[in-house]
Amino acid sequence: MLCALALLTIGVVMVQSAGMQVPGLGETGLVESDVVGSGEVVAVDGVSARSLMTSRSALYLVLAVGAMVLASRIPMRKIAARLDRVVWFKPGGDLGVLLIGCAVLIVVVWSVYVPGIARPRNGAHRWVDLRLPGLESMQPSELAKWGIVLLVAWYAARLGSYRENRLTVFWKGLLPVILCIGAVAFAVVMEDLGTGVLMVLACSVVLVAGGARLKHFAAFVPIGLAGVAAAIITSPYRVKRITAFLDPYADAQGEGYQMIQSLTTISGGGFFGRGLGNGLQKFGYLPEDTTDFLFAVICEEMGFMGALAVIAAYAAMVWVGTDIARREQSPMLRLVVVGVIATFSIQAMINLMVVTGLGPTKGIALPLLSNGGTGWVVTSVCLGLIVAIERTQEYASAFDGSLEEDISFAQRGGMMPGLVMGGAQEAHEIGAQEMAELMGETDSEHELEVVVPNRKRLVRAGKPQRHEDVPEADDWFADRG
């Protein structure tokens, strides 16, 4: 969270610096806004502490931090446990939820074409009008980008809960989820190829982490490449971006201008930079300096050391997120962390490659840095979910990974368990209220106690009910062994 806050703060400062403008000259050769009625010339205010605190970026920073804090308090383990206990009796129930979720995301993406709320810019339909003070527009693709990753993480964990991981089965396991990912990505690619590719890559990482076989993905590689090629060929501006990437100096004043100016901006910073606010390329030379190419301005003003600090912050977040995923015992929560970190890191990597000339120009912003309200807030919410997961790992580590199965068994059998589990030599006690919260039953009337006297695990259950009262238990355990 500290790295995210640091990146957001740097983003506010650098967006304001990159957004500085030089007013036009009047007939007298002086800046028009500098001349007052008496003919006296006064200074024009630049970026100040007041302008930073009252800027639009500062408002989004407050919203992003608040959203992250609220998301960090979400009871993720309780939600994951309840989702794991849900049993769909009809065949294909898991797939039905996946299809419904994908349909909702496609509707969200296509809302950019709805008259009355659509807000096209430069011929592109990527925004909807919110008509809120300070929150004028929103990118639905941002919601779809994170929503599809969370949905796929749940679905992969669900298939992995069966006796035989169904993700290892091509036709009934991997193929349906790949088709759903492709449908949502296609809806996004119609206006934003970069975000669509990002979604596919991040979801692929989640599926591989969930147990999908790499050789099964080989069947989709030609299809994916053909889809990307078709999206490029059918859009003349995308073709020009590819040719400009291959040889930007062939059209230095046209399609290659942006890449050339980006490289010029980076090279002008040297090792220590020109100084904060002292960049030159932002004054009408570097296009999209506050959004997609903000990292070039950072390199020019803060130099190699400033760029290294930003990259180190991203690397630290990926490192910590990977460690949280490695220590997580819940399959669903583990895949959620993997999906968020994969999306975050791949997006940052794509932007850095574009800015440094290692990839063709795309409309991919640098997460938590480039100017943008929806991206900051939604990204902060997803990072807050990781904090919520990590915050309760200490309690979860007291168990050997079968707590959810014990709870599911007890509740499906109409029993409320008292647990005795191993993990330490001397005894430790967990209060009844904390144990009830972990089990997702805060209104329980049972006295619960967890004692850890040795490494032997024993489950005591009371208040049994007749087995025929819960026939779904047999079906549930038949599938999950």
Question: What range does the domain containing 105 cover?
Answer: 2-22+46-394
- Check whether residue 390 and residue 428 sit in a common domain: no
- Report, as an integer, the average pLDDT of 169-196: 87
Residue 109 lies in a domain: yes
- Check whether residue 306 and residue 437 sit in a common domain: no
How far is Cα 275 from Cα 293, in angstroms, rounded to an integer?
18
- How many other CB atoms are found less than 10 A from the CB of residue 195? 25
Residue 33 lies in a domain: no
- Check whether residue 74 and residue 160 sit in a common domain: yes
What local confidence, expressed as pLDDT, does residue 256 receive? 87
- Check whether residue 207 and residue 258 sit in a common domain: yes
Residue 98 lies in a domain: yes
Q: Is the dihedral of CA 37, 39, 43, 44 positive or negative?
A: positive
- Check whether residue 276 and residue 240 sit in a common domain: yes
What local confidence, expressed as pLDDT, does residue 86 receive? 63
SS3 (DSSP) at 420: strand
* Residue 387 clears pLDDT 70, i.e. is over it: yes
Name the most confidently modeled range: 83-97, 122-136, 267-281.
267-281
- Check whether residue 370 and residue 435 sit in a common domain: no
Instruction: Pick the range with the lowest mean pLDDT from 24-33, 286-295, 399-408, 449-458.
Output: 449-458
What's the pLDDT band for 163 if we cut at 50, 70, 90?
confident
Residue 418 lies in a domain: yes
pLDDT in tens, 45-82: 556 667 677 777 888 888 889 999 999 999 988 888 88
- Looking at 335, 362, 394, which one is the last position of a domain? 394
Residue 354 lies in a domain: yes
What local confidence, expressed as pLDDT, does residue 41 receive? 39
- Check whether residue 374 and residue 431 sit in a common domain: no
What local confidence, expressed as pLDDT, does residue 132 receive? 65
What local confidence, expressed as pLDDT, does residue 408 receive? 44
- Looking at 394, 424, 458, which one is the last position of a domain? 394
- Looking at 368, 394, 420, which one is the last position of a domain? 394
- Report, as an integer, the average pLDDT of 240-253: 87
- Check whether residue 74 and residue 162 sit in a common domain: yes
Alpha-helical regions (H) of 131-256:
140-160, 175-189, 193-209, 214-217, 221-233, 236-246
- Check whether residue 202 and residue 133 sit in a common domain: yes
- Check whether residue 349 and residue 426 sit in a common domain: no
Give yes or no for a contact between 332 and 154, defined as CB atoms under 8 angstroms apart: yes
Alpha-helical regions (H) of 356-422:
373-391, 393-396, 403-412
Residue 103 lies in a domain: yes
- Check whether residue 13 and residue 145 sit in a common domain: yes
What's the pLDDT band for 475 if we cut at 50, 70, 90?
low
Which residue type is seen at 170? F
Instruction: Pick the range with the lowest mean pLDDT from 119-123, 261-265, 430-434, 461-465.
Output: 461-465
Strands 458-462 and 416-420: antiparallel
Residue 325 phi/psi, 5-degree rounding, is -65, -35
- Check whether residue 378 and residue 417 sit in a common domain: no
What local confidence, expressed as pLDDT, does residue 48 receive? 64
Residue 128 lies in a domain: yes
CA dihedral of residues 46, 49, 50, 56 (deg, nearest 10): 90
Please tell me the total count of domains within the chain: 2
What local confidence, expressed as pLDDT, does residue 97 receive? 84
Closest to 78 (Cα-Cα) out of 324, 413, 354, 333: 333
Instruction: Pick the range with the lowest mean pLDDT from 183-192, 306-315, 413-422.
Output: 413-422
Residue 35 lies in a domain: no
How far is Cα 201 from Cα 195, in angstroms, rounded to an integer?
10
Which H or E run contains 416? strand 416-420
